[in-house]
A and B are shown apart, each in its own frame.
Chain A
Amino acid sequence: MLRPFRLLEPTTAMEASAELRRLGDQARVYAGGAELVLLMRHGILQTDYLVNVKGIPSLHGVTWDGTVARIGAATTHSQVERDPIVRQRLPTLAQSAGTIGNIRVRNQGTIGGNLCFADPHSDPEAPLLVHDAQVVLSCTAGERRLPVDDFLVGTFETAIQPDEILTGVEAEPLPTGFGQAFLRIERYHRPTVNVASGVRAAEGRIAEARLAVGCVGARTIRLRDLETRVTGLGVDEATRVGREYGPILTELLEPVDDLLGSAEYKIHVACVLLGRAIGEAAHTNEAAES
């Protein structure tokens, strides 16, 4: 059962950062608790203080400045899923948010919390990587931006500094001509494998591709090598290359057997989904063009 802890409720990111600086290891950031509280209940994680950032007004909501969509870190998955800006500009992110856990988790958990927890079985990470999204990190010393690809380090590990608060996520829509897809397989409450793609196809060939795969390795990754390999290929050929990418994917991700399945199974399914995600993105793009 939960151990007693103190709940701190700062109203600005600066205050929150100051609390983190003051309390050091004794404090954890609470941004919805979908995963954190589970660990606390099981006694895996014990903390004296929780710094609730969900009450910070500036961490909420989605804005669009004409180029970049900014999603406040404390925006819940349900809000991301339903937000008109996200749905229009970052549709696979909206889609991925709608698949997380269950309705209770989506109403409680936040995009910032999800990213900071860095569970390799995250849903929003793959679309964010495809969008070349970046996170905004704030502390009393100032603010910095970091690509999501640099922010994610490993399993439960990010580049956030102990006194930093993730305040938002910024992403641009995919450039004109891109189609996109988000595909996932799940058995438990977390995805077994997920894949996001952004593909620009022209005259039946892949002109540009962005591909990301989650859950199989220590963190969600962009597959830049595969992106290069498929560029210039016909769509069917690119799909086949995706499907047959297993040996390299195994080396890249070093998957392990676990409850969700064997490493062999996860790699196989990831490649099936990659092939499909390339094809679907290419076709949505062509459908949009025609």
Chain B
Amino acid sequence: MVQAERTQEAPRIDSWGKVSGSATFVEDMPELTGSLYAAPVKSPYAHARVGAIDVSRALALEGVSSVLYRDNLHEFGLQLDALAPLDPALIVGDKALYQGDLVAVVVASDLRTARRAAELVDVDYEILDPVFSAEAALQAGAPILHDHRGTNSIFDDSLMWGDIEDGFRQAVTIVERNLVSPTVFHHPMEPVGTGMVRFAGDIAEIWAPTNTPMRDASDIAHVLGVPADHVHLRVPYVGGGFGAKKTTREMAAALALSRKLRRPIRVVATGEESFHVAVRHAMEYRARVGVDAEGRLVALDVDLAVDCGAYFTGGKVATHNACTSAWGPYRVPHFRVRAKTAFTNKTPATPHRGTGKTQTTFAIECLMDEVARTISTDPVEFRERNVLLPGERVPERFTVEGSRIAGDSAPMTIDFPSLMREGMDALGPEQPPLSPSLVRGRGVSVSLRNWAKGSEESQASATLNPDGTVTVAHTASDLGQGIYNMISVVAAKTLGLDQAQIHVENPDTSTMLRFPGATAQRTTIELGNAVYAASTNLKRQIIDLAVESRGGTPDAWIIQGGSLWLGDVRYSLSDLAKEAPGVVLSAVGSDTEVYPTDDAFGETEFWTPGVAAAEVDVDRDTGEISVLRYAILAEAGKILHYNSARGQLEGGAVMGFGLALFEELRYEDGQVQNADAFQYRLPLMRDVPPSFQVLITENGDGPGPFGAKGIAQTSIPCVAPAVANAIFDAVGVPVSSTPITPEKVLRALGTLTDRP
């Protein structure tokens, strides 16, 4: 393996704009002429029957233009049945299912008036008992959210191979554990749900931060009852997403109002309201694991309970990912995971960076440490003995949701034992803590990720401009990952131009360029390949034009260092472009992979590992935890931009510290208790360990441009288990749920009484 080095590279193309404040986010966009403002009316209750809604006081307020709500919805010409049946309706009907469920949208001449009017909408709520966990929601007699379904159960998922009963018969040691990952909010810096909408003729225009513009535009077209190409969604810079950024119900409602009022509308969300748009799925992982006399895993049986919140948004993917990752990267001959999913009266859960996998990686990796310690084996040694080694395959055949399918996934390429050793070595020699009340410990964790291909192809276009520069168009939002920079690097490198000659457009769905969405760490691979293809196609056209106007053969021409060369003679691209007026050179490129929907990981062609090692101090008296050293190991295939890759891994790990130690949305006494930045603890700069290392190797085996892979989600899942295992090592007792708080440590130690 070759260790990647920080090489001479240009700064990211978005750096200057973001550092100087000149980068445009949706809130920075200038006012559209005649713009109105929207404000939402949201249910203050987690579960309530909605009786009469009286908007007369709101409408009487000076400056208020209109209200969209249940009783006048039919006036807006919307296709409401086009929405997925388990996703939220555009607006609440007779029941509000979570605190923040959208009851009405008010528009007025200014934001203050709109907000004031929203407060004047009188809604009769009959408060119902809420249910806040999947387990409780699935019990008989639980309050039912979606009355017509008669149950809170949504669907079951499963994955299995071998014979689970047979596996446990071979076990000499059996360990049982229950590991819990709570509801957390993605908490991007930019609020979730801010946008601008307008109808220009019969074209619906939207400016909004979203990671899936093409899908959103298509959904909105359905609701509005217009052709998909009549929705032009443009995405400015996005201030973080992590799965939370989508066009919202408020924006769709605003479009309906805009069409009726013929005025642009600005939708402004607050940081607090953002907590009520999207959260991560809470999961409970109940496992039984067996090892034989040689300390080898023989059986793993997992029951997963997945809390989807009030609607189904994204529950399928999160649950399926949880199933396919529930076994870690281990050689488990007999495996079974059965997942149950449930509606609860919480904010609808959506994908969250490493969706489904952060929860299961925490669980399986804590479980492995517990098993190792139960049989008095060092946790690293235990993993070395049981992890899949290069050349091994995930079991040949497995059963998914009852159907047996062939497992023809690629063999393991990852050398986990050496990555783990590198990680532990990176922590340096062990030294005692500085104070007698402190105990020190170390932990390791690993994760394995299959390639989740997009549901459709990715496209990009490259166009030669008269000034000799090239413009690349696409529909992939840059949520902060450095996607525009990746596009710039790939286009420049492929075309033989300088990055300064490449213009990267913001996503605009009117280009109709396809892209499944900036999710699942697939953008570098799939969009990168599309940019590579578009650039290659454009290069061919440029050379053909050069041959036509200057002679020579196509083979004799090259583009290098930003110019065209025929032998030793240099020509500029702008001269070439100007000399052929009326000729437009433009090429579309597509990621040529075919994307079948895979049932588990049967189609996986390569794997990406996550490995982490952590050292912590725990104060035995107060339970306070400090992460002192942390090492991230990643395998990038080929790094296209070192600082972006490193930033992704560091950012994922820092977000992971939040999940490990701080973040949890608390639902108690019928309400969410901490849905604001003041009471929702995020990781701070001082929570970043003093020693924080990122080690990236490049195998060049990725399917992306120049051998690249995606790595954006490989560091986050390892954090909570590495830290949890280090705490376990330090204090000698495990903590079974995140966030691992000082109070939980004290309870595990027996210092405080044992209670949930």
Interface residues of A (CB under 8 A from B): 1, 4, 38, 42, 185, 187-189, 259, 261-262, 264-265, 268-269, 272-273
Given A38-B678, A189-B678, check contact A259 B752 (CB 8 Å): no
Q: List 19 A-B contacts (CB under 8 A).
A: A1-B115, A1-B270, A4-B112, A42-B272, A42-B676, A185-B622, A187-B742, A188-B681, A261-B743, A264-B753, A265-B742, A265-B746, A265-B752, A268-B752, A269-B622, A269-B623, A269-B742, A272-B621, A273-B622
Given A185-B624, A259-B674, A269-B622, check contact A264 B752 (CB 8 Å): yes
B751 at the interface (CB under 8 A from A): yes
Given A259-B673, A259-B674, check contact A187 B752 (CB 8 Å): no
Q: Within the complex, which residue of A1, A188, A268, A273 is in contact with B746, where a contact is CB–CB below 8 Å?
A: A268
Could you tell me the distance in whole angstroms from the C-beta of A95 to the nearest C-beta in chain B? 16
B679 at the interface (CB under 8 A from A): yes
Given A187-B662, A264-B753, A265-B752, check contact A272 B622 (CB 8 Å): yes
Interface string of B611-638 (1 = CB under 8 A from A): 0000000000111100000000000000
Given A259-B666, A265-B752, A268-B751, check contact A187 B741 (CB 8 Å): yes
Could you tell me the distance in whole angstroms from the C-beta of A119 to the nearest C-beta in chain B? 12
User: Binding site of B, secondary structure by majority: helix, strand, loop or mixed?
Assistant: loop
Could you tell me the distance in whole angstroms from the C-beta of A239 to the nearest C-beta in chain B? 11
List chain A residues, Cβ under 8 A from B226.
none
Please tell me if the beta carbons of B742 and A259 are within 8 angstroms of each other in the complex.
Answer: no
B120 at the interface (CB under 8 A from A): no
Please tell me if the beta carbons of A259 and B679 are within 8 angstroms of each other in the complex.
Answer: yes
Q: Give complex CA distance A265, B111 in Å.
A: 44
Q: Within the complex, which residue of B674, B742, B752 is in contact with A185, where a contact is CB–CB below 8 Å?
A: B742
**Number of B residues with CB within 8 Å of any CB on chain A:** 24
Residue on B nearest A188 in the bound complex, by CB: B681
Please tell me if the beta carbons of B112 and A1 are within 8 angstroms of each other in the complex.
Answer: yes
Please tell me if the beta carbons of A1 and B622 are within 8 angstroms of each other in the complex.
Answer: no
Please tell me if the beta carbons of A265 and B621 are within 8 angstroms of each other in the complex.
Answer: no
Q: Within the complex, which residue of B621, B679, B743 is in contact with A188, where a contact is CB–CB below 8 Å?
A: B679
List chain B residues, Cβ under 8 A from A264.
752-753
Please tell me if the beta carbons of A262 and B743 are within 8 angstroms of each other in the complex.
Answer: yes
Q: Give complex CA distance A265, B741 in Å.
A: 11
Q: What 15 additional pairs, Cβ within 8 angstroms, besides A42-B676, A185-B742, A269-B742?
A: A1-B111, A1-B270, A4-B112, A38-B678, A185-B622, A187-B662, A187-B681, A188-B678, A188-B679, A265-B752, A268-B746, A268-B752, A269-B622, A272-B621, A272-B622
Could you tell me the distance in whole angstroms from the C-beta of B274 to the nearest C-beta in chain A? 15
Could you tell me the distance in whole angstroms from the C-beta of B435 to the nearest C-beta in chain A? 10
B 115-137 contacts with A by CB, 8 A: 115
List chain B residues, Cβ under 8 A from A269.
622-623, 742
Closest 4 CB pairs of A and B: A265-B743, A272-B621, A261-B743, A269-B622
Q: Give complex CA distance A188, B680 in Å.
A: 7
List chain B residues, Cβ under 8 A from A273.
622
Residue on B nearest A2 in the bound complex, by CB: B112
Q: Give complex CA distance A1, B116 in Å.
A: 9
B 442-480 contacts with A by CB, 8 A: none
Residue on A nearest B619 in the bound complex, by CB: A272
Q: Give complex CA distance A21, B29 in Å.
A: 45
Q: Give complex CA distance A272, B746 in Å.
A: 12
List chain A residues, Cβ under 8 A from B111.
1
Residue on B nearest A193 in the bound complex, by CB: B622
Could you tell me the distance in whole angstroms from the C-beta of A214 to the nearest C-beta in chain B? 16
List chain A residues, Cβ under 8 A from B662.
187
List chain B residues, Cβ under 8 A from A42.
272, 676
Could you tell me the distance in whole angstroms from the C-beta of B324 to the nearest C-beta in chain A? 34
Interface string of B368-400 (1 = CB under 8 A from A): 000000000000000000000000000000000
Residue on A nearest B115 in the bound complex, by CB: A1
Interface string of B355-371 (1 = CB under 8 A from A): 00000000000000000
List chain A residues, Cβ under 8 A from B623.
269
Q: Give complex CA distance A262, B668 in Å.
A: 14
List chain B residues, Cβ under 8 A from A272.
621-622
List chain A residues, Cβ under 8 A from B753.
264
Interface string of B262-275 (1 = CB under 8 A from A): 00000000101000
List chain A residues, Cβ under 8 A from B674.
259
List chain B residues, Cβ under 8 A from A265.
742-743, 746, 752
List chain A residues, Cβ under 8 A from B112.
1, 4
List chain A residues, Cβ under 8 A from B624.
185
List chain A residues, Cβ under 8 A from B752.
262, 264-265, 268
Q: Give complex CA distance A195, B673 in Å.
A: 27
Q: Give complex CA distance A262, B753 in Å.
A: 11
Interface string of B737-756 (1 = CB under 8 A from A): 00001110010000111000
Interface string of B657-679 (1 = CB under 8 A from A): 00000100010000001101011
List chain A residues, Cβ under 8 A from B742.
185, 187, 265, 269
List chain B residues, Cβ under 8 A from A189.
678
Q: Give complex CA distance A187, B680 in Å.
A: 10
Interface centre among B622, B624, B666 (most CB of A within 10 A): B622
Q: Give complex CA distance A1, B272 in Å.
A: 11
List chain A residues, Cβ under 8 A from B673.
259
Q: Give complex CA distance A259, B751 in Å.
A: 20
Q: Give complex CA distance A38, B272 in Å.
A: 12
List chain B residues, Cβ under 8 A from A261.
741, 743
Q: Give complex CA distance A1, B112 in Å.
A: 8
Q: Give complex CA distance A269, B621 in Å.
A: 8
B 96-116 contacts with A by CB, 8 A: 111-112, 115
